[in-house]
C-alpha cells in the first residue's frame, strides 16, 4: 500500500508540474537557432518534459541589437517551487549574445540525478558567446553543498550516458560553425531537460581588425618630426652628443 501511494503521489506531482508550467508560459515565443549569417540568439531559461517552460526572455539579433528582461519565476507555484529564479536578462547583436539568471534555486530530487545532486543553486548564472567563442560565469553556485567553479571549462559535469547529466558551460558547435553555450544544462534521458542561460552566436566573417599606429618620434625645431635612428655623433660609442646652443637671459642683480 505504501509503495502504491508513493507512486500515485509522484505521478500526481508530475501532472501538477506540467499543468502549472503550461499556465505560466509567457507570451515570448521560442527563438529558432540562428544561421551562420551573424544572427545571434539568447534566452534565460527553458524546460522540456514534465516541467515544460517556453524559452523565457528569448530574442535574436535579426533586426539588430536587442535586449530584454523578465520578472522572477516560481514553478509550479510560489508556495512550493521546484524551479525559482530572480530577474532574467538576455541580449543579442550580430556575432554576440548573452543571457543571465539571478537567484537560481532548482530542486531536482525527483529527477534522481547522478552523484546524488538534489538541488542546484546560484546567485547568478551567465552565458556569453562572442564571435563564435563562449564562456560561462557562475557566481555563488552550488550542487547540493558542493561549491561550483566560477568559470568552469567547457562541458564540465557529471554524465551517465543514456541516463542523466548535469553539465556546466555546455558548448555545442553546429556543422555551420554556430556555437551554443548553456550555463547549466540538466537532462534526464526521455524525461526532462532544463537549460539555464543560453547564448548562441557565429563568427562574423569579414569583421575589421583593429589597427595600431606607430608612435611618432621626438619633435624637432619648428615642429618638425624626427624619425629613424639617432645621429651618428650622438650614438657613437665613447662620444658625448654635440652640445646645442640655447639663447637665454640671465637675471641681473645688484
Domain map (residue ranges) of the chain: 2-201
What mean pLDDT is predicted for residues 208-229?
A: 50
Cell of 29: 515565443
What mean pLDDT is predicted for residues 80-109?
A: 94
Cell of 82: 521546484
Of residues 147 and 224, more confidence is placed in: 147
Of residues 192 and 252, more confidence is placed in: 192
pLDDT, tens only, 43-70: 999 999 988 899 999 999 999 999 999 9
Mean pLDDT of the chain: 76
**Helix, strand, coil percent values for the chain (each to nearest 5):** 15, 40, 45
Tell me how far CA of residue 155 lies from CA of 25, 159, 180, 199, in angstroms: 29, 10, 12, 15
pLDDT at 244 > cutoff 70? no
Tell me how far CA of residue 127 lies from CA of 3, 35, 121, in angstroms: 42, 19, 16
Residue 35 banded pLDDT, cuts 50, 70, 90:
very low
Of residues 46 and 35, more confidence is placed in: 46
pLDDT, tens only, 4-28: 443 334 333 333 333 333 333 333 3
Of residues 76 and 234, more confidence is placed in: 76
Residues 6+ apart with CB under 8 A from 152: 136, 138, 168, 169
Nearest in space to 177 (alpha carbons), one of 31, 35, 55: 35
Amino acid at each position: 500500500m505504501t509503495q502504491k501511494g508513493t507512486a500515485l503521489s509522484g505521478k500526481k506531482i508530475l501532472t501538477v508540474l506540467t499543468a502549472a508550467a503550461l499556465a505560466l508560459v509567457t507570451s515570448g515565443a521560442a527563438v529558432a537557432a540562428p544561421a551562420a549569417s551573424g544572427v545571434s540568439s539568447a534566452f534565460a531559461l527553458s524546460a522540456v518534459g514534465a516541467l515544460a517552460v517556453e524559452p523565457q526572455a528569448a530574442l535574436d539579433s535579426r533586426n539588430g541589437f536587442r535586449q530584454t528582461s523578465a520578472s522572477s519565476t516560481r514553478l509550479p507555484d510560489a508556495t512550493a517551487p521546484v524551479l525559482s529564479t530572480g530577474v532574467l536578462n538576455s541580449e543579442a547583436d550580430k556575432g554576440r549574445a548573452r543571457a543571465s539568471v539571478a537567484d537560481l534555486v532548482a530542486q531536482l530530487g525527483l529527477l534522481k540525478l547522478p552523484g546524488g545532486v538534489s538541488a542546484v543553486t546560484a546567485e547568478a548564472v551567465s552565458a556569453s558567446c562572442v564571435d563564435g567563442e563562449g564562456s560561462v560565469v557562475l557566481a555563488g553556485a552550488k550542487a547540493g553543498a558542493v561549491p561550483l567553479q566560477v568559470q568552469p571549462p567547457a562541458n564540465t559535469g557529471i554524465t551517465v550516458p543514456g541516463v542523466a547529466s548535469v553539465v556546466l558551460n555546455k558548448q555545442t558547435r553546429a556543422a555551420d560553425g554556430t556555437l551554443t553555450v548553456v550555463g547549466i544544462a540538466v537532462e534526464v534521458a526521455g524525461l526532462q531537460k532544463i537549460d539555464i542561460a543560453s547564448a548562441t552566436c557565429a563568427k562574423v566573417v569579414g569583421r575589421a581588425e583593429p589597427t595600431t599606429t606607430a608612435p611618432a618620434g621626438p619633435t624637432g625645431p619648428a615642429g618638425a618630426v624626427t624619425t629613424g635612428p639617432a645621429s651618428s655623433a650622438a650614438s657613437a660609442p665613447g662620444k658625448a652628443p654635440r652640445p646645442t646652443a640655447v639663447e637665454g637671459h640671465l637675471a641681473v642683480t645688484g
